[in-house]
Chain A
Amino acid sequence: MFVHIKRIIRSGFFNFFRNGFVSFSSILVMLVTLFVIGSVIFSGAVLNSTLETLKDKVDIRVTFVTTAEEEQILDLKEKIEALPEVENVSYTSREEALIIFKERHGDDQLILQALEELGDNPLGSSLNIKAKEPSQYESVANFLQNKEPLGSSGVSIIDKINFFQNKTAIDKLSNIIDSSEKLGFIITIVLVIMSVLITFNTIRLAIYISRDEISVMKLVGADSSYIRGPFVVSGILYGLFAAILTLLIFLPTTLWLGDIAKRFFVSFNAFDYYMSNFLEIFAIIIVSGVAIGAISSYLASRRYLK
């Protein structure tokens, strides 16, 4: 048994190196497949990080009238925090709002002067609410509208909820996020299936070239495992070499993309992502390569063994 396996592996290695051109072209085709699989991983990551950034930017800001009491606001904050949809709520007091406002317009003397003229702080305090999912803002906003707390004067302390101004934008964004996730998934599946089929066909061709050899082996009295084994070993080697090449090619590619991407997605650097997830990507690429190579060879050689 051990001798049998040893001979199959040795024979597979010899076939691989002596059939140089066939091996070379199979590796190239498989390289494309693995590159597609790798790119799918990267574009998935880009999409996710972009979506995360966008989601992060969406929130509801509830601005209160200047006469609202801090105690009431904090009370409301606690109630909102208790909602299951809410991720967090942050409170900005009137004084803080003024400081932020002054900082933002630090260069604009006119506005600062106008502020001086007013004397009193014209800004109300506010609550920034972040939901877990963009689609949940609607219910949070509705909650606020129904629960509208009244101040001592009997008037609502809420000045405005910006959700209703931003509603269409937020709705659109949730839609885009939803459909881009779905579309990404479908494109991934289609691309992967296509490239796997192309690889499978290439390996089938490589074995088709050897069909006469297979018939000679049968005639000499070799059993199927002994005929098929070396093809499977060669297939695994195609996968292995293609995977290593793919991983190497991703180094300069991601480095280059990282520079470009910085201009578009401030938060995403493909190279850093590659480095920090290297083990995972390495495993996916190697396992895919070896599996595609082995399974294609196994299935393709079966035809000629009947």
Chain B
Amino acid sequence: MIYFDRVSKIYSDATPALHDITLGIEPAEFVSIVGHSGAGKTTLLKMLLAEETPTKGKVFLQSIDIHSLKRREMIYYRRRIGVIFQDFRLLPHKTVYENVSFAMEAAGRTDKEIESDVPHVLELVDLGKKFWSFPNELSGGEKQRVAIARAIVNQPDIVIADEPTGNLDPLNTFEIIQILKKINDFGTIVILTTHNKGIIDSLGKRVISMDEGKIIRDSKEGRYVL
């Protein structure tokens, strides 16, 4: 469903961030990407989000070359992907409920859909009692769960989680991963990057290891090996 066709990215200082990456991801797959900092994981995800354009090669979602999309089409394309960051990136002046409903409003959904879906999704991430809290009133784990709720509320095809547990304690880390697994069980592609060996080893899903902009290992039911 996702296909990287010989993608390279060279930044202005001439060191390649990605080097000739060819990679396919099937529907409903759970893929973890591991590697040292600077191995190219984040650049790879940015390619998929079309935040970066490849220097060489193409990235496809189904048969769409995502870097040839026009502005308007890009907005629709982005709505098919939910993103979760290490630093949460919630809207600070909106409540938990509004942070999630914003994604639906932006996608042009009706008030009725929003009223029925947002509480449902917030229950799913166990935030049923925090609807009207602002982000600064939440713990790190709660913030990340809001971010997940926002990422999945539009039922995206793909959820990208870029080191989602980097700022969390082990218990919250465990909960976040459980939620991601649940999302994957519904048939959504989940792409996860992490430095946490324990997570990878317990998942038992596909693991892609990267180093210096290249894929050095790609194994089904892999383990955390660098």
Contacts and interface: CB of A to CB of B under 8 A. Distances in A.
Interface of A: 3-4, 7, 14-15, 18-19, 212-213, 216-223, 226
| Main SS at interface, chain A | helix
B89 A216 contact: yes
A222 B105 CA distance: 8
17 contacts: A18-B93, A216-B89, A216-B90, A217-B91, A217-B106, A218-B78, A219-B49, A219-B78, A219-B89, A220-B78, A220-B102, A221-B75, A221-B78, A221-B79, A221-B103, A222-B75, A222-B102
Contacts of A220: 78-79, 102-103, 106, 150
B105 A226 contact: yes
- Of all A-B residue pairs in the complex, the 4 with the closest CB atoms, nearest first, are A222-B106, A221-B79, A221-B78, A18-B93
B106 A226 contact: yes
B107 interface: yes
Interface string B89-113: 1111110001000110111101100
A216 B91 contact: yes
A218 B78 CA distance: 8
B132 interface: no
B176 interface: no
Contacts of A223: 72, 75, 106
Contact of B107 (A14, A219, A221): A221
Given A220-B150, A223-B75, A213 B91 contact: yes
A302 to B, nearest CB: 14
Nearest to A22: B93
B76 interface: yes
A14 B154 CA distance: 23
B7 interface: no
A219 B83 contact: yes
Given A3-B110, A220-B102, 15 more contacts: A4-B108, A14-B94, A14-B98, A212-B89, A213-B91, A213-B92, A216-B89, A217-B91, A218-B78, A219-B89, A220-B79, A221-B79, A221-B107, A223-B72, A226-B105
Nearest to A7: B105
Contact of A3 (B94, B102, B103, B111): B111
Contacts of B75: 221-223
Interface string B35-76: 000000000000001000000000000000000000010011
A3 B106 CA distance: 11
A49 to B, nearest CB: 49
A213 B154 CA distance: 19
Contacts of B79: 220-221
Nearest to B102: A220
A15 B98 CA distance: 12
Contact of A19 (B93, B103, B110, B154): B93
A218 B75 CA distance: 8
Contacts of A18: 93
A221 B76 contact: yes
Contacts of A7: 105
A36 to B, nearest CB: 31
B49 to A, nearest CB: 7
Contacts of B78: 218-221
Contacts of B150: 220
A59 B91 CA distance: 71
Contact of B93 (A14, A217, A226): A14
Contacts of A15: 93
Interface centre among B78, B92, B105 (most CB of A within 10 A): B105
A224 to B, nearest CB: 9
Contacts of B72: 223
Nearest to B151: A220
A157 to B, nearest CB: 86
A7 B103 CA distance: 12
Contacts of B76: 221
A114 B208 CA distance: 122
A217 B76 CA distance: 13
Contacts of A218: 78
A217 B89 contact: no
A80 to B, nearest CB: 74
A160 B37 CA distance: 101
A217 B150 CA distance: 11
A184 B83 CA distance: 58
Contacts of A212: 89
A217 B93 CA distance: 13
Contacts of A216: 89-91
B64 to A, nearest CB: 15
A221 B106 contact: yes
A40 B110 CA distance: 49
